[in-house]
Amino acid sequence: MPNDFIIVNDLVKEAHFDIKYYGKDNFVGTPVDGYDAPLCVLQKRAAEGLVKASNAALKEGYRLKILDCYRPQRAVSHFVRWASNLADTVTKTHYYPNIPKSTLLGPYIAEKSGHSRGATLDVTLEKRSAENTWEPVDMGTPFDFFDPLSHTVNSEVGESVLQNRQRLIRYMQAGNFVNYELEWWHFSQQEQVYPNTYFDFPLQLTTDNTR
């Protein structure tokens, strides 16, 4: 891991970290290559921006739920292999019910990902309830739902969902993140340190990366 990459889990203590590709609760249906620990790792500038975004959310009674951060290239290659295996449709009902799996490569799954540059993350919101518990905010679709309903400004999801998506955008903008218009959960730093580099170090806890 480069020296300017940071494990964010302990940096943004108020956030809820639910790293989806570490477990089976994802569109592949299995743990993904390179996710040997449930870590959110980001390049330092993006990590500092995430702190600002988290603080903006907390001021209004919300908190960030982090679903994915830096993604090793080997994980992206795992996605491509999965998408190429048309016989495996175990997760279709939950993640791509309205389109054939043969259409995922290209529009939804690419051979390179901005996540591998260390300045992109996937995130949603939770709201503090009257009972002082954290409850999920309705974003209209699940994370990684391959469908036009996941487009950030798709009016078919309803006005209240659109307001929730815009609220998330506003919080992330406080950290200099910009939304990817086809995925309401996907945000990237506007000014990246490694705009053309795709890293492949695995996510794992070692004595060298506990900083």
Q: pLDDT in tens for each of the 211 residues of the chain?
A: 999 999 999 899 899 999 999 999 999 999 999 999 999 999 999 999 999 999 999 999 999 999 999 999 999 999 999 999 999 999 999 999 999 999 999 989 999 999 999 999 999 999 999 898 999 999 999 999 999 999 999 999 999 999 999 999 999 999 999 999 999 999 999 999 999 999 999 999 874 544 3
Beta bridge mates, 203: 35
User: How many domains, the chain?
Assistant: 1
Beta bridge mates, 42: 6
**Can you tell me the distance from the alpha carbon of 39 to that of 42, in angstroms, rounded to the nearest whole number?**
10
Residue 144: give the domain boundaries: 5-189
Query: Which residues belong to the annotated binding site for Zn(2+)?
Result: 115, 122, 186
Assigned domain for 201 exists: no
Active site residue 14: no
Read off the DSSP letter of residue 22: G
Two structure tokens written together for 1: 């891991």
Assigned domain for 29 exists: yes
- What pTM was computed for the model? 0.94
User: Which residue is catalytic, options 14, 126, 181, 183?
Assistant: 183
The residues near 106 (Cβ < 8 Å, ≥ 6 apart) are none
CATH number at residue 29: 3.30.1380.10
Give, for 173, the enclosing helix (H) or strand (E): helix 159-173
